Structure 1
Amino acid sequence: MDKIDRLVNLLKRLNSEEITESLKSEALKMVSSVDPLELSLAEQKLIEDGTKPEDLRHLCDIHMEVLKSELDKLKLKLSPNHVLTTLIEEHDEILKLLSLLEELNAKIQTISKYDKNIIEFNNLLKTIDSIIDAENHHKREEDVLFPELESRGVTGPTRIMRMEHDMLRNKKHEIRNLIFKIEAMDFNQFKTSLDEAVKYLVFNLRDHIYKENHILYPSSIETLTDSTLWNQMKEECDKIGYCSFTPGK
């Protein structure tokens, strides 16, 4: 069995078994020893075999943990009030909200009929509202960080990030709108629609955060080397404002 096949088998186990410390340790060891191409080939093989991309969520978690040390190194280069420090800290909070959203969806999938008094439904709305409240986070990127990069010829990554912001924004509101339709829907259909939308959002937003933390932000530090410019960007970010969950704001 070659390396790709072993990785495919591991990914299948991540999606079908309980994530024990032993399995997590095995996954961390293997994922840290493969390069991005091998990982992409294994993911592609799973998708060709019928696995939905959003069902690879546990891989995304494992991969982020492997690269956590790289993100920690980036943070050490930044001051506490740096534009990127705040964006990274907001990402941490969004990831917590996504985990909560994932847990709420899993619980709702086990409920047989809708009852407005069941706390999970109220918490579901609160959680998606908090995730939607990330709008100022995206606006600071789109109106402050991205233009500075684009003016220096870095246009590919920012174009992709803008497109993903639009896609993710639409999916967040799709989930919120779905919640308000629940009483008029067949409950099983609601659960199916919720499950699909939540898994899509969780997978793609985690992936989006991964790309910003590990590709876009490090590139920003390398491209924008003037500390005075970063101070000016911080002032522009302050004018836009922050999120309800922004640490220290």
Structure 2
Amino acid sequence: MVRQQKATLDKLLSWVRLLQRKLRRKGENRMGGVSNSSKKEMLKEVIRQLHAGASPQEVKERFKQVLEGVSPLEIAKIEQELISEGLPREEIQRLCDVHMAVFREQLERQKLDVPLGHPVNILMEEHKAMLQIAGKLGDVVNKLQQISDVNRVGDEIRLLEHIAEDFRDSEKHYLREENALFPVLERHGITEPPAIMWTEHNQIREKKKQLNSRLEKYGAINFSDFKKQLSEVANALNGLLSSHFFKENNILFPTALKVVTSQEWSDMRKEFDEIG
């Protein structure tokens, strides 16, 4: 297996070096980069190789060098094209965090400038609020781990119940995206990124249900088991939210700002208000 992965990696690196030499000889895009079409093909090939078994850690640095300056819209379109060419959506989603790890530094340089009250501003502020809730959840769960007497956790359980309620109230955020933003993106031909994000919404919903279920079991199961199960759910939910919001803030929303019209944003804001 190790030999097979090394052979795959060697093949990938040889392909990248060959393509880079060809591009330099052709002198494409004399501003110092690579043409958009070549960037796209290089990214698609690297992603294919990652999905074929090449080690993400080994190719990460090469991935960055080849794709320096790639935009969120390019990434969204590339993943969409790969799916249309036959790569399963589930595979793209499975390695989505690998893609983000590769692009994170580049994407974080691109700051969004949207006014207060703009739909993207509203969604990003809601992301911040939910990450704060997730942070509180982690803090309370960590404190709970230090307590051995089940009779001394009343305050912590009440805090956890309030946190779970806050997560339930956050459902409107996902409805805003699914019912207002995603359909507009789809009308502009951006179909796969919203579909992947919707799948992650359902994963988040499942984790929130598990949180509620664990809290309902308090007092009915062994206290050590309760703490372990609660910690597992809290860690999973925290990681999922952080990863999901990064993708939306740095890929989905910048893509939307490139393709959605002013009138569509205005109409979308009205839909946001109707959702509540």
TM, length-normalised to structure 2: 0.61
Kindly indicate whether the alpha-carbon contact (under 8 Å) linking 2:131 and 2:242 is maintained by their aligned counterparts in 1. yes
Find the aligned partners of 2:188 and 2:181 in 1 and give their Cα distance.
11
Counterpart residue number, 1:201 = 237
Instruction: Give the Cα–Cα distance (whole angstroms) in 2 for the partners of residues 139 and 96 of structure 1.
Output: 20
The Cα shift of 1:43 comes to 10
Counterparts of 1:105 and 1:219 in 2: how far apart (Å)? 36
2:175 counterpart of 1:156: no
Aligned to 1:41: 56
- Specify the alignment match of 2:208 in structure 1: 172
Query: Aligned with 1:178: secondary structure?
Result: helix
- State which of 128, 151, 174 in structure 2 corresponds to 1:138: 174
Poorly superposed stretches of 4+, deviation over 4 Å: 63-69
What is the identity percentage for the equivalent residue pairs of Structure 1 and Structure 2? Answer: 35
Aligned residues of 1:142 and 1:162 also touching (Cα < 8 A) = yes
How many correspondences in the alignment?
185
Distance 2:222 2:252 in 1: 42
Amino acid at match of 1:85: N
Cα distance change, pair 67–122 in 1 and its aligned pair in 2 (3 A): farther
Q: Which residue number in structure 2 is paired with residue 239 of structure 1?
A: 274
Aligned partners of 2:198, 2:115: CA distance in 1, in Å? 26
Q: Could you state the TM-score of these two structures normalised by the residue count of structure 1?
A: 0.67
Which runs of 5 or more structure 1 residues have no equivalent in the other structure? 1-36, 45-59, 242-249
Partner of 1:4 in structure 2?
Answer: none
Unaligned runs of 5+ in 2: 1-46, 60-99
Give me the whole-angstrom Cα distance separating, in 2, the residues matched to 1:66 and 1:114. 47
Bigger-Rg structure (1/2): 2
Bigger relative CO (Cα 8 Å, ≥ 6 apart): 1
Q: How far 1:66 sits from its partner (Å)?
A: 9.0
Instruction: Please tell me the residue identity of whatever aligns with 2:136.
Output: L
1:119 to 155, 160, 164: 155
* CA positional deviation for 1:80: 0.9
Root-mean-square deviation (Å) = 2.8
**Alpha-carbon shift at residue 94 of structure 1 (Å):** 0.8
CA distance in 1, matches of 2:170, 2:58: 29
8 Å CA contact 1:132–1:173 kept in 2: the answer is: no
CA distance in 2, matches of 1:65, 1:129: 35
